[in-house]
């Protein structure tokens, strides 16, 4: 009897509890409800366009007694020293930017290397997604999901209108907790972050809590509009998060949608890092900046009026440390973007605007021909790039390179084919001393190309 009585009482108790507890999902609130703050209204207007993203890729790991002094013996004894594939999963966030087309904006690192991407909507639906395009330099990616009905989409703001101190809202999937809302303020604008992967510039800094899993989610203003894409946290500090401004994200997104990739850009400047002698000449407290030694005719720099002898101190509001830093900063900008250049010309300090242009394959090949003297063949090789010709009087000819030589390394980049050759030429275009790995007659030689 005791068991039966419990079975009868328990459903009744559930019924009482369900009646006593308010149904928050269905509760309606009037405009004069004091709880309907601007933050609540912004979240209600935009949360449905925020998605959780799970991506998976196969990774290879070695099994067995690794790290054990008797590891080799035990692996042989039990046959455990093998490589096995494991499924690695990554969680992140995203935001629907075009509900009719099913387009989702997120971070590139959220889906990097993944072969299986799933988008989960606020209403619980899970939809497979395909990658439209991504770019690691900007840490942005665009996904596409197929849906019969239009999806809710976010409204975009103008991030050039952001106010330091204004309230912002982050929505994401931190640690797997779906649609988590945090608030804060805009702490600063145009922040730069240096990572092992390079320099990232033009971030919105916020104290809204941004944790692992928030990457790719939206940063909103009080109108519920998208002002940035949450992308990074500073692990050694509390209350510091970063987001990519939406104006910058839109430029990248448009290129990804049209071509699947973002074209690298250039200004047409060649130069050298500042040494103590140059710093003293310009009255600098320490060596810093890029001294312009040459400007390519017809380039954006030439059109903007930059001249040899100018000392570039800032690019896009970021102080230039040296020529490598200059290239790292330039990677954060796109074509069609007005870029401020602060420079010293003699005793004058000037700030001018230049519009970066795409650094196309044709331009890169022309640069390697004119500056280095290397004229590569388009013929495919199993490894390396074959030289079709060497320009007379060039650094390559002085090095006694010749047609038929196979270039297999430029700097620290292994040249497997034309793609790596072009990437290396872009990366080392400001260098005056470049290590080359060349195969001739079946033998590998290393030589330095000095400009």
Q: pLDDT tens for the chain, 451 residues: list them.
A: 333 333 333 333 333 333 333 444 445 666 678 899 999 999 999 999 999 999 887 556 555 545 555 556 555 555 555 566 566 677 899 999 999 999 999 999 999 988 899 999 999 999 999 999 999 999 999 999 998 899 999 999 999 999 999 999 999 998 888 899 999 999 999 998 887 777 889 999 999 988 888 899 999 999 999 999 998 666 665 678 999 999 999 999 999 999 988 999 999 999 999 999 999 999 999 999 999 999 999 999 999 999 999 999 999 999 999 999 999 999 999 998 899 999 999 989 999 999 999 999 999 999 999 999 999 999 999 999 999 999 999 999 999 999 999 999 999 999 999 999 999 999 999 999 999 999 999 999 999 999 9
Q: Do 174 and 231 share a domain, yes or no?
A: yes
Tell me which of 292, 324, 358 is where a domain ends: 358
Q: Do 425 and 345 share a domain, yes or no?
A: no
**Are the beta carbons of 279 and 287 closer than 8 angstroms?**
yes
Closest CA to 305 of 274, 351, 347: 351
Q: Do 209 and 170 share a domain, yes or no?
A: yes
Beta carbons within 10 angstroms of residue 419's beta carbon: 11
**Are the beta carbons of 376 and 365 closer than 8 angstroms?**
yes
Can 109 be counted among the known catalytic residues?
yes
217 found inside a domain: yes
Which of 134, 215, 273, 299 does the annotation list as catalytic? 215
Q: Do 349 and 333 share a domain, yes or no?
A: yes
Which of 109, 179, 325, 333 does the annotation list as catalytic? 109
Strands 225-233 and 155-156: parallel
Q: Do 401 and 437 share a domain, yes or no?
A: yes
Tell me which of 358, 381, 401 is where a domain ends: 358
Task: Compute the distance between CA of residue 421 and CA of residue 308 in angstroms, rounded to an integer.
Answer: 28
Cα-based distances in Å from 433 to 99, 300, 326, 420, 421: 51, 25, 18, 19, 17
| Joined tokens for residue 428 | 């080392």
Q: Do 186 and 227 share a domain, yes or no?
A: yes
Q: Do 307 and 280 share a domain, yes or no?
A: yes
Residue 400 region by backbone torsions, left for phi larger than 0, else alpha for psi between -120 and 50, else beta = left
206 found inside a domain: yes
Alpha helices in 106-210 (DSSP H): 108-111
Structural domains counted in the chain:
3
Range of the domain at 250: 155-259
379 found inside a domain: yes
Q: Do 381 and 438 share a domain, yes or no?
A: yes
pTM above 0.75, yes or no: yes
Closest CA to 292 of 366, 359, 346, 360: 346
Task: Compute the distance between CA of residue 109 and CA of residue 53 in angstroms, rounded to an integer.
Answer: 12
Tell me which of 199, 231, 259 is where a domain ends: 259
**Are the beta carbons of 261 and 133 closer than 8 angstroms?**
yes
227 found inside a domain: yes
197 found inside a domain: yes
Buried b (16+ CB within 10 A) or exposed e, 427-439: bbbbeeebebbbb
- Here the CATH number for the domain that contains residue 330 is 2.30.42.10
| Joined tokens for residue 113 | 């290397």
Which of 114, 135, 139, 299 does the annotation list as catalytic? 139
Task: Compute the distance between CA of residue 135 and CA of residue 256 in angstroms, rounded to an integer.
Answer: 8
């Amino acid at each position: 009897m005791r068991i039966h009585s419990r079975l009868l009482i328990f459903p009744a108790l559930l019924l009482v509890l369900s009646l006593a507890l308010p149904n928050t999902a269905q509760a309606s609130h009037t405009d004069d409800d004091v709880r309907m703050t601007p933050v609540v209204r912004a979240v209600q207007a935009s949360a449905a366009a925020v998605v959780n993203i799970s991506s998976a890729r196969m990774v290879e790991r070695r099994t067995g007694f690794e790290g054990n002094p008797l590891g080799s013996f035990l692996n042989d004894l039990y046959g455990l020293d093998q490589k096995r594939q494991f499924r690695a999963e990554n969680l992140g966030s995203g935001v629907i930017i075009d509900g009719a087309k099913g387009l989702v904006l997120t971070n590139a690192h959220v889906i990097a290397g993944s072969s299986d991407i799933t988008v989960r909507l606020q209403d619980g639906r899970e939809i497979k997604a395909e990658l439209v395009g991504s770019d690691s330099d900007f840490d942005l990616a665009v996904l596409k999901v197929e849906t019969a009905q239009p999806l809710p989409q976010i409204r975009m703001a103008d991030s050039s209108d952001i106010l330091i101190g204004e309230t912002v809202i982050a929505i994401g999937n931190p640690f797997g907790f779906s649609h988590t809302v945090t608030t804060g303020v805009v702490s600063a604008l145009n922040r730069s972050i240096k990572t092992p992967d390079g320099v990232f510039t033009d971030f919105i800094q916020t104290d809204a809590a941004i944790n692992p899993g928030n990457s790719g989610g939206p940063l909103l203003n009080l109108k519920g509009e998208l002002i940035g894409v949450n992308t990074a946290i500073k692990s050694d500090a509390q209350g510091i998060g970063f987001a990519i401004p939406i104006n910058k994200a839109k430029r990248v997104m448009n290129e990804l949608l049209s071509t699947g990739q973002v074209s690298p850009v250039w200004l047409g400047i060649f130069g050298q890092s500042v040494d103590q002698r140059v710093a003293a000449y310009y009255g600098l407290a320490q060596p810093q900046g890029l001294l312009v030694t040459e400007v390519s005719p017809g380039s954006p720099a030439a059109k903007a009026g930059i001249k040899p002898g100018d000392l570039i101190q800032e690019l896009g509001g970021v102080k230039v440390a040296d020529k490598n830093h200059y290239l790292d900063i330039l990677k954060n900008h796109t074509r069609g973007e007005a870029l401020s250049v602060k420079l010293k010309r003699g005793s004058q300090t000037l700030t001018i605007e230049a519009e970066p242009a795409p650094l196309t394959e044709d331009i890169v090949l022309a640069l390697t021909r004119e500056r280095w003297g290397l004229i590569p063949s388009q013929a495919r090789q199993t490894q390396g790039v074959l030289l079709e010709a060497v320009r007379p009087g060039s650094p390559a000819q002085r090095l006694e390179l010749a047609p038929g030589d196979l270039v297999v390394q430029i700097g620290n980049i292994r040249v497997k084919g034309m793609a790596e050759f072009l990437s290396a030429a872009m990366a080392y275009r400001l260098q005056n001393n470049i290590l080359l790995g060349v195969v001739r007659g079946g033998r590998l030689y290393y030589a330095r190309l000095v400009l």
